[in-house]
């Protein structure tokens, strides 16, 4: 099983699409009103790590992904847990600013590190703060120089400021970068800000056409270089299409990927902090191999691309921060992605048939922190 481990709710940034939204006057959301939040959940990890280890010992192959807030604010805990926990595979989602706080022998134990960056320096700094891009890139170069050979995923949050084609190519191709992979998530239907956005126009004029261009570029690169670029919103669904495999929620939340809160409760997803009616147990007595499944129902049940999309996001499905018209626009982006990949499938199959690429080129770690469907 995969577990996100929330070490702290504190963060050393206040990004425009994340914590800064707390200062906006947000739209009312019916779903959010109906969710009961445990306001007493501790900010910092508040249980004995030995309880966590006992829980993990009951799982034959646990994977632990450190998460926050910013997990590296608790570099002390990361170091301790990596040294002590009965876990073979560690991953981390970080903003990258404090990657220099961990010793190389600890960093080098990680199989995957997701680093939040939004593309070029100007855009990253505009969203995340002046000087962030340079500091993160310096740290990334340093961990590579210190021997980190694992997967390094550039994880973008995409907003109306993003030119998706330029940004994905920039993160993927800039030789100064050590990234092996790119993932992106739309800042859409996560907060009640639809009335303050220009999402509809941007999706129609920029994002959706950009996705069609990128899918075409992705397959062109397979043909010209014999390489399948690790662009996760394409890689994971395309592998399933090739294998004719149906998918549940692609981030794994609520069926393969659970999150351990700072008080030891287990939630389906790392964002569902304090949403106690969705908790599936507590590490002191739960069996990690028999955790309850939380399924996406509602409008997704009848959707014709349900087994491609998986339902996109459990958190936003429950909280419904955008109204029906906003949600429909987000689903249209999924439909656009599905159509672009479906249209590319015959070409991909033909490149496999002629030996330019192999099915193994699509193999990747599932539930590695990428939401997959943006």
Q: How far is the CB of 309 from ligand SF4 (least distance, A)?
A: 3
Quick one: 235 or 251, whose CB is closer to ligand SF4?
251
- In the shown chain, the binding pattern of residues 289 to 328 toward ligand SF4, with x for contact by CB under 6 A and - for none, equals ----------xx--x-xx--x-xxxxx-------------
Of 40-48, 75-83, 92-100, 268-276: span binding ligand SF4 (CB under 6 A): 268-276
Residue 152: beta bridge partners?
Answer: 113
Quick one: 200 or 300, whose CB is closer to ligand SF4?
300
Q: How far is the CB of 100 from ligand SF4 (least distance, A)?
A: 27
Quick one: 100 or 365, whose CB is closer to ligand SF4?
365
What is d(CA 53, CA 207) in angstroms, rounded to the nearest whole number? 44
3-state SS class at 299: helix
Could you say which of 269, 344, 348, 352 contacts ligand SF4 (CB under 6 A)?
A: 269
Is 155 among the residues that bind ligand SF4 (CB under 6 A)? no
Could you say which of 117, 251, 267, 283 contacts ligand SF4 (CB under 6 A)?
A: 251
Total residues contacting ligand SF4 by CB under 6 A comes to 19
Q: How far is the CB of 331 from ligand SF4 (least distance, A)?
A: 3
Task: Tell me the angle at which helices 208-225 and 164-173 cross, rounded to the nearest 10 degrees.
Answer: 30
Quick one: 74 or 312, whose CB is closer to ligand SF4?
312
Long-range contacts (CB closer than 8 Å, 24 or more residues apart) made by 245-250: 246/307, 247/307, 247/308, 247/309, 247/310, 248/295, 248/310, 248/311, 249/296, 249/310, 249/311, 249/312, 249/313, 249/314, 250/309, 250/310, 250/371, 250/372, 250/373
Give me 29's structure tokens.
């959301």
Query: Is the alpha carbon torsion for 210, 201, 192, 328 positive or negative?
Result: negative
Task: Tell me the angle at which helices 232-243 and 208-225 cross, rounded to the nearest 10 degrees.
Answer: 70
Q: How far is the CB of 334 from ligand SF4 (least distance, A)?
A: 4
Task: Give ∠ CA 122-67-138 in degrees, rounded to 5.
Answer: 40
CA atoms within 13 A on the CB side of 27: 18
Q: How far is the CB of 364 from ligand SF4 (least distance, A)?
A: 17
Is 2 among the residues that bind ligand SF4 (CB under 6 A)? no
Of 12-20, 129-137, 269-277, 360-368: span binding ligand SF4 (CB under 6 A): 269-277
Closest CA to 292 of 258, 241, 315, 328: 258
Q: How far is the CB of 315 from ligand SF4 (least distance, A)?
A: 4
Could you say which of 29, 139, 167, 253 contacts ligand SF4 (CB under 6 A)?
A: 253
Q: How far is the CB of 311 from ligand SF4 (least distance, A)?
A: 5
Could you say which of 11, 331, 356, 366 contacts ligand SF4 (CB under 6 A)?
A: 331
What is d(CA 206, CA 215) in angstroms, rounded to the nearest whole number? 14
Binding residues vs ligand SF4 (CB under 6 A): 251, 253, 269-271, 299-300, 303, 305-306, 309, 311-315, 331, 334, 371
């Amino acid at each position: 099983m995969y577990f996100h481990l929330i070490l702290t709710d504190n963060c050393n940034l206040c990004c425009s699409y994340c914590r800064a939204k707390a200062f906006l006057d947000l739209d009312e959301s019916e779903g959010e009103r109906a969710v009961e939040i445990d306001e007493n959940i501790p900010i910092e990890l508040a249980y004995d790590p030995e309880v966590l280890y006992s829980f993990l010992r009951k799982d034959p192959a646990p994977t632990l992904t450190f998460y926050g807030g910013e997990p590296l604010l608790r570099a002390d805990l990361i170091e301790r847990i990596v040294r002590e926990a009965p876990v073979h595979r560690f991953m981390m989602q970080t903003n990258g600013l404090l990657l220099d706080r961990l010793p190389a022998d600890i960093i080098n134990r990680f199989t995957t590190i997701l680093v939040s960056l939004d593309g070029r320096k100007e855009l990253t700094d505009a969203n995340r703060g002046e000087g962030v891009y340079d500091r993160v890139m310096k740290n990334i170069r340093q961990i590579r120089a210190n021997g980190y050979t694992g997967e390094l995923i550039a994880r973008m949050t995409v907003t109306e400021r993003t030119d998706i084609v330029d940004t994905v190519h920039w993160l993927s191709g800039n030789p100064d970068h050590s990234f092996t992979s790119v993932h992106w998530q739309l800042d859409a239907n996560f907060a009640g800000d639809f009335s303050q956005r220009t999402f509809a126009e941007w999706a129609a004029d920029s994002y959706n056409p950009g996705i069609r261009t990128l899918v075409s570029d992705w397959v062109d690169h397979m043909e010209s270089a014999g390489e399948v670029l690790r662009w996760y919103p394409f890689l994971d669904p395309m592998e399933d299409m090739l294998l004719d495999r149906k998918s549940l929620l692609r981030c794994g939340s609520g069926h393969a990927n659970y999150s351990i809160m700072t008080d030891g409760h287990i939630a389906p997803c790392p964002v569902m902090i304090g949403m106690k009616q969705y908790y599936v147990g507590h590490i002191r007595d739960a069996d990690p191999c028999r955790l309850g499944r939380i399924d996406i129902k509602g409008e997704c049940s009848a959707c014709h691309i349900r087994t491609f999309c998986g339902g996109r996001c459990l958190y936003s499905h429950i909280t419904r921060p955008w109204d029906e018209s906003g949600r429909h626009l987000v689903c249209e982006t999924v439909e656009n992605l599905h159509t672009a990949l479906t249209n590319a499938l015959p070409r991909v199959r033909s490149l496999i048939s002629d030996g330019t690429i192999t099915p193994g080129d699509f193999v990747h770690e599932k539930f590695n922190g990428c939401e997959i469907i943006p």
